[in-house]
Structure 1
Amino acid sequence: MARSTSSRPSPTRRRFLGIGTASAAAVALGTGLFSAEPARAGNTVSGYPFALGVASGEPRHNGVVLWTRLAPEPLAPDGRGGMDDREVTVYYQVATDEDFRRVVREGSATASPELAHSVHPEVSGLRPDREYFYRFGALGEISPVGRTRTAPPPGSLPSRLEFGFVSCQNWNDGHYTAYRHLADEDLAVVLHLGDYIYENPANGGIRQVEVPDHLKAETVTLEQYRSRYSLYKTDPDLRAAHERFPWIVTPDDHEVDNNWAGEFSQDAGVTPERFLRRRAAAFQAYYENLPLRRDSMPIGPNMSLHRRLPWGRLADFTMLDTRQYRDDQACGDGLTATCEDRFAPGRSVLGEAQRDWLVEGFANSPARWHVLGNQMPMLQTDVDSGPDTRVWMDAWDGYVAERDEVLAAAVREGVRNLVVLTGDRHQNYAADLKADYTDPDSATVGTEFVGTSISSSRDGQDLGPQGEEMLAANPHLRFVNEQRGYVRCTVTPRRWETDFRVLPYVTRPDAPVSTRASLLVEDGRPGVLTD
């Protein structure tokens, strides 16, 4: 498939239509490919409306959700992307071929100013385990073509699944070259495990571009969050990865505020009422800019994010929300070796309702591999190789009793293979999950793979002093790497292979990619295979 990494329709489609870009839209809109929207007096919108690209996500066996947001001026300071207050009809088509000779679904959605002129049409009636192509039309223009895929039929046992997972893409810290390489992979789906944007002031130092003044402030208002997503989506490599695969997404902290917990900001003096107003703005912008179903549309500061997506009987993707319902961090949210409160019974990162839902899924899932899409490390990550245990309070190490409860429930309910996939750390880890980290002889009950960042923390290194200390302090930790990149997973009924794909640098845009390590898990044998 040819992929477009620009905002304009791809050369493939221009050749197919036999005309230039501007004429292509006019001919398509005039010959039944799309219904043309009547011109409206007083419409002030001008420019290409699909500058933020297209995306798909939430694949099911019979359909997907499609996404685009109309924004001819993406970085407009009012967050509207150059759109006015009028509703716009956006048309979409889904086809089995990239040239749209075999269109199987088409329809329209209303882009309203209340949702920043984003649309999230949920397309159903598709065939399972099939590749499809899609595109949008609006305001006399045609979008780039996206590629998507449906999940296998319920009850089937696919012979193979290849997917990727990513996280942490601070625009300030480097180029998104990892996404360029990710888009060249042959994957069925991509998981994004948090930190899609960063709330701190944006600058263009690494990228050597000038950032408009209104982006040089921390995001607090809806207008600021909308503009921040637009800034990130101006990157052609990020847009290419969205165009290439369906995504399954969940936020972590930076989509709202660093290390937030429930109704609590990390910032001293911010009342819960004030923070919840900020959270509501952040959640709305998150929904507006990502391919989520209407079930996830936020209501004020509340957003439904935990969900399950089966891949036949081969895998269940269980996406967690470890921010919205959690108790405030014990002993602050940094590193400490002296916090007994982290062991306190009843302290929760999931909240009671989500934890019960998770355990119910353990009990009812027929999947060979039960995959948790998780935002911060579940394994213990001690950074002191001496007698003390020094850990981060913002991760599951700050909620020990609930971690032990969740892992015990997976064993009790007969989960065949528990694999936790995690972002957050800007490091690659492969680790055994232990029933009790205070007991050196504790049983291994699952496996965790933590993926590094796309760009956050800049270039990184293969293994620094902290990584060496962690390997010495944590015998359950099998691999550590501190470069940037993404993770590719290949899953069959009998084994799981994780490839850590890394880049030597992100401060320049021309980095190659290589596989730093490949780690295996065998069906029915929890933990990273070492022999």
Structure 2
Amino acid sequence: MNDANQLGKTNRRDFLKNAGKGIGLAIGVSIANSLPVNTASAAPKYLKYPFTLGVASGDPLPDGVVLWTRLAPDPLNGGGMPSHPFPVQWEVALDEEFKKVVKRGTEVSKPQLGHSVHVEVNKLKPATWYYYRFKAGKELSPVGRTKTAPALHSQVDEIAFAFASCQNWPTGYYTAYQHMAKDDLDLVIHLGDYIYEGRHNSSGVRPIDQDFPEIYTIDDYRNRYALYKLDSDLQAAHANFPWLVTLDDHEVDNNWAGEVPQDPQKQSKEDFLKRRAIAFQAYYEHMPLRRTSYPNGNSMQLYRRLAFGNLVEFNMLDTRQYRDDQADGDGWGPPTPESMEPSRTMLGEEQERWLLNGLSASKTKWNVLAQQVFFARRDYGLGPDAERYGMDSWDGYPAARQRILNHITEMNLTNTVVLTGDVHSSWANEVKADFDDENSKNVAVEFVGTSITSGGDGSDVRPDTEQILQENPHIKFFSNRRGYVRCKLTQQKWQTDYLTVPYVTRPGAPIETAASFIVEEGKPTLKKVNESAAVPV
């Protein structure tokens, strides 16, 4: 690999080339001088370019948004910043040239948080696009673009967003993000597996000249996030839209559940909770999250609710931190007394109650459960008497799922949409009030998004696809290609487009619409859009 300084220079050059419409890198003496110099900063003149990891924004509210960056002149070696706080100036403007600056200030990057910066800007106008940037010493960051949410309960006629997950760095290129950055979106939702904690080595498709072992320490996690965030396509997608994020398992440890690691025979509970605390801290350091999500030891407040006028409310869920351990050794198999135990929980008692109360109180047309693991029943057992379910998904917690379905049914909530990641493939599901009765009515729909890279190039179908779809008639679509999912909402309908790339093992793949589905308001049923009517990319 190039040295860290060269990585920063290459990253800026790639950012200019790959960033989507309207976003560029603001460099130049006159622009740089428009940011006020903080005379108290004592900023060293020798500071190498610190914005190698780009910029991001997130958690938009009607009057504000979170702005993020992290100072890392030597990104793959702990960041390379001095061990003392460092002042970082920021600006928000209505134009890309920063002639109409509306807010500015100084935030301090702290070494104990990896010199990350989280600015909670407020007193902005609702439903408005803004541009932002940072300055450290004499260096300017790339310019980001973000958008505030519409005013609470205001009339909103339409919104467009994308969601993605599972971006294992060694297994492919982030071409899907290159296309996403150029899409016409209001925000992006990431459903987890932003990084992978396992060993990364030269056997992957990306060229690296060193092995990266499995991560355990705070420096390990910081370097892993830096490796991923150096990708210019990912940076462009972050810079063009505000993001809503939640984690899954690989940000900590594969298939962890509550206080239980993947391999309890190798990690004690005490050791795992220390690792979880480190992983949560690193996640916060690298995501545009509010102070309300600041980790408290080995716990982190990630479930939260964001509304966009009267059109849609997003319930961002955490299906890892509070769940019971997976049943029956966390494998695949038929239901057992352990998996069917009525008290088993995926969300934990407090989060589950928060979700159900929020669904009842919602004033928006659409209500979204943005979460991690497969929600609808998915029987992999082929034949009428064979049942085979994944214990890491909601199939391993059927009583917890049924409590949510019963609530939706009893409250007659007809516009509930579940968004899911995790499985590295695309699915479109109708969610039944009772999966034991195939004639049961639909009470929701679920859109499962494929991975950005995890799983490699993939394929249109798998050998067992036809049989799986026959076994699960409520599942209406499957694709094993990589990509992302775009959703366009109005007061009358919801359209979902599955956007896929033919390969990720080399850069430059085109993107196409593999399938599109429409859900009409008040009717939780999937209608496939004709190929000729699919929305072009």
1:168 Cα offset (Å): 0.2
**What aligned pairs does 1:63-462 form with structure 2 within 5 A after superposition?**
63-76=64-77, 79=78, 81-213=79-211, 216-269=212-265, 270-386=267-383, 387-462=385-460
1:10 Cα offset (Å): 4.9
Deviations 1:262-292 (A, max 9, x none): 0000103222111100000000000000100
TM-score scaled by length of structure 2: 0.92
Q: Is the 8 A contact 1:433 1:447 kept in 2?
A: yes
**Which of residues 4, 9, 12 is equivalent to 1:7?**
12
Residues 320, 11 of structure 1: CA spacing in aligned structure 2 closer, same or farther, 3 A cutoff?
closer
1:174 Cα offset (Å): 0.3
Query: Alignment partner of 1:231: what SS?
Result: helix
Residues 525, 207 of structure 1: CA spacing in aligned structure 2 closer, same or farther, 3 A cutoff?
same
Query: Alignment partner of 2:67: what SS?
Result: strand
1:27 Cα offset (Å): 4.6
Q: Which residue of 1 aligns with 2:22?
A: none
1:482 Cα offset (Å): 0.5
Q: Which residue of 2 aligns with 1:16?
A: none
Q: Is the 8 A contact 1:37 1:140 kept in 2?
A: no
Residues 448, 5 of structure 1: CA spacing in aligned structure 2 closer, same or farther, 3 A cutoff?
farther
Q: Is the 8 A contact 1:370 1:416 kept in 2?
A: no
Q: Is the 8 A contact 2:163 2:485 kept in 1?
A: yes
Q: Is the 8 A contact 1:368 1:416 kept in 2?
A: no
Q: Is the 8 A contact 1:429 1:450 kept in 2?
A: yes
Residues 5, 469 of structure 1: CA spacing in aligned structure 2 closer, same or farther, 3 A cutoff?
farther
Q: Which residue of 1 aligns with 2:35?
A: 33
Residues 196, 12 of structure 1: CA spacing in aligned structure 2 closer, same or farther, 3 A cutoff?
closer
Q: Provide structure 2 residue ranges, at least 5 long, that are not aligned to the other structure.
A: 1-8, 20-24, 530-537
What amino acid does structure 1 have at the position aligned with 2:430? D
Q: Is the 8 A contact 2:255 2:262 kept in 1?
A: yes
Deviations 1:139-187 (A, max 9, x none): 2100000010011111112111110000000001100000000001010
Cα distance between partner residues in 2 of 1:62 and 1:75: 36
Q: Is the 8 A contact 1:362 1:414 kept in 2?
A: no
Q: Is the 8 A contact 2:170 2:206 kept in 1?
A: no
Q: Is the 8 A contact 1:5 1:240 kept in 2?
A: no
Q: Is the 8 A contact 2:41 2:86 kept in 1?
A: no
Residues 45, 278 of structure 1: CA spacing in aligned structure 2 closer, same or farther, 3 A cutoff?
farther
Cα distance between partner residues in 2 of 1:436 and 1:268: 35
Cα distance between partner residues in 2 of 1:132 and 1:343: 49
Query: Alignment partner of 2:183: what SS?
Result: coil
Query: Alignment partner of 1:340: what SS?
Result: coil
Deviations 1:28-48 (A, max 9, x none): 454x4232455749x596311
What amino acid does structure 2 have at the position aligned with 1:259? N
Cα distance between partner residues in 1 of 2:41 and 2:253: 41
**What aligned pairs does 1:471-510 form with structure 2 within 5 A after superposition?**
471-510=469-508
1:211 Cα offset (Å): 4.4
Deviations 1:397-417 (A, max 9, x none): 000001010111122234240
Cα distance between partner residues in 2 of 1:55 and 1:473: 42
1:529 Cα offset (Å): 2.5
Q: Is the 8 A contact 1:34 1:137 kept in 2?
A: no
Q: Is the 8 A contact 2:198 2:215 kept in 1?
A: yes
Q: Is the 8 A contact 2:515 2:528 kept in 1?
A: no
Cα distance between partner residues in 1 of 2:26 and 2:114: 29
Cα distance between partner residues in 1 of 2:205 and 2:30: 38
Cα distance between partner residues in 2 of 1:239 and 1:204: 23
Cα distance between partner residues in 2 of 1:389 and 1:147: 48
Residues 332, 107 of structure 1: CA spacing in aligned structure 2 closer, same or farther, 3 A cutoff?
same
What amino acid does structure 1 have at the position aligned with 2:69? T
Q: Is the 8 A contact 1:56 1:242 kept in 2?
A: yes
Q: Is the 8 A contact 1:37 1:138 kept in 2?
A: no
Cα distance between partner residues in 1 of 2:37 and 2:406: 56
Residues 495, 87 of structure 1: CA spacing in aligned structure 2 closer, same or farther, 3 A cutoff?
same
Q: Is the 8 A contact 1:182 1:241 kept in 2?
A: yes
Q: Is the 8 A contact 2:458 2:480 kept in 1?
A: yes
Q: Is the 8 A contact 1:383 1:466 kept in 2?
A: no
Question: CA RMSD of the aligned region, Å?
Answer: 2.2
Query: Alignment partner of 2:12: what SS?
Result: coil
Query: Alignment partner of 2:339: what SS?
Result: helix
Aligned length: 514
Residues 313, 39 of structure 1: CA spacing in aligned structure 2 closer, same or farther, 3 A cutoff?
closer
Deviations 1:470-514 (A, max 9, x none): 212101000011100000000000000000000000001010000
